[in-house]
C-alpha cells in the first residue's frame, strides 16, 4: 500500500485526472509508436477502471471499451460489461462495431489472480490468445494490436502465434511498468495477407 501511495505515476494520474497509473504505460508506448490518432476506431479490452480509454479519447479516438467489471461512464466511450471468454460478449462487441474494421485493439486484460502461479499464467495466456483472435478478425489490414503479456509458461509460443498473424511483433516495457513485474507489452503491426479477408 505504501508503494502505491508513494508511486510517482499514481500521483501523476491524480494530477492529470486519469483513473489509473496504467494510462502512462499506454502514453509512453503511444509516444514512441504513434498508436492513437484523431478519428481512429479503438477497442479497449479489459478497460476498467478506464485509464486507457480516457487517454484514447483525449487523443480524439472513437472508443469501444469492454470489461467483466463495471466501469464508471466516460463521455463518448461505448462500454460493454461482459466476460470476454463468452460468446455473448463477443456478439455485443460485434454489434457495437456495426461492420466497421478497427484501427487499434488494446488489451490490458488479466484474470483474477488465484495465487497459484501456473494456473494464473495459463488463464492469462488464454485471455491473450482470445484477444489475438479478436484482433485478427476485426483489425484493418494496417491495424495495430497492443496486449499485456506476463512472461512465463506459454509466452514464447504466444509470440510465435503472433508472428503467424502479423508481419511485425515488437516488445515494449514502459517505465510505468514496475521493474519487478513480469508484464511486458507486445505490439503487433500489419496483418499478414493470409489473415486479411479478401
Q: Which of 25, 59, 148, 175 is catalytic?
A: 148
Residue numbers in the known binding site for S-adenosyl-L-methionine are: 50, 52, 67, 83, 108
Rounded Cα distance, 181 and 195, in Å? 33
Closest CA to 146 of 22, 14, 60: 22
Residue 40 domain boundaries: 22-191
Looking at the structure of the chain, the number of domains it has is 1
Residue numbers in the known binding site are: 50, 52, 67, 83, 108
**pLDDT average per 10 residues of sequence, the chain (198 residues):** 55 67 91 96 97 95 97 95 96 96 96 86 95 97 96 96 97 83 93 74
Q: Is 173 a catalytic residue?
A: no
What is the per-residue pLDDT for 129? 97
Rounded Cα distance, 11 and 119, in Å? 33
Residue recorded with cell 488479466: 110
CATH code (residue 153)? 3.40.50.150
Whether residue 31 lies inside any domain: the answer is yes
Amino acid at each position: 500500500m505504501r508503494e502505491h501511495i508513494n508511486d510517482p505515476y499514481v500521483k501523476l494520474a491524480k494530477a492529470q485526472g486519469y483513473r489509473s497509473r496504467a494510462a502512462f504505460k499506454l502514453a509512453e508506448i503511444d509516444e514512441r509508436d504513434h498508436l492513437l490518432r484523431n478519428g481512429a476506431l479503438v477497442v479497449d479490452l479489459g478497460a476498467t477502471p478506464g485509464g486507457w480509454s480516457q487517454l484514447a479519447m483525449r487523443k480524439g479516438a472513437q472508443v469501444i471499451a469492454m470489461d467483466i467489471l463495471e466501469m464508471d461512464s466516460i463521455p463518448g466511450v461505448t462500454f460493454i460489461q461482459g466476460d470476454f471468454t463468452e460468446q455473448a460478449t463477443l456478439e455485443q462487441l460485434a454489434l457495437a462495431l456495426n461492420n466497421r474494421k478497427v484501427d487499434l485493439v488494446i488489451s490490458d486484460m488479466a484474470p483474477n489472480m488465484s495465487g497459484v502461479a501456473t494456473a494464473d499464467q495459463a488463464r492469462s495466456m488464454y485471455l491473450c490468445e482470445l484477444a489475438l483472435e479478436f484482433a485478427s478478425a476485426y483489425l484493418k489490414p494496417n491495424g495495430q494490436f497492443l496486449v499485456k503479456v506476463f512472461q512465463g509458461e506459454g509466452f514464447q509460443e504466444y509470440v510465435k502465434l503472433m508472428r503467424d498473424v502479423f508481419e511485425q511483433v515488437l516488445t515494449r516495457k514502459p517505465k510505468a511498468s514496475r521493474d519487478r513485474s513480469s508484464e511486458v507489452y507486445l505490439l503487433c503491426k500489419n496483418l499478414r495477407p493470409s489473415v486479411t479477408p479478401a
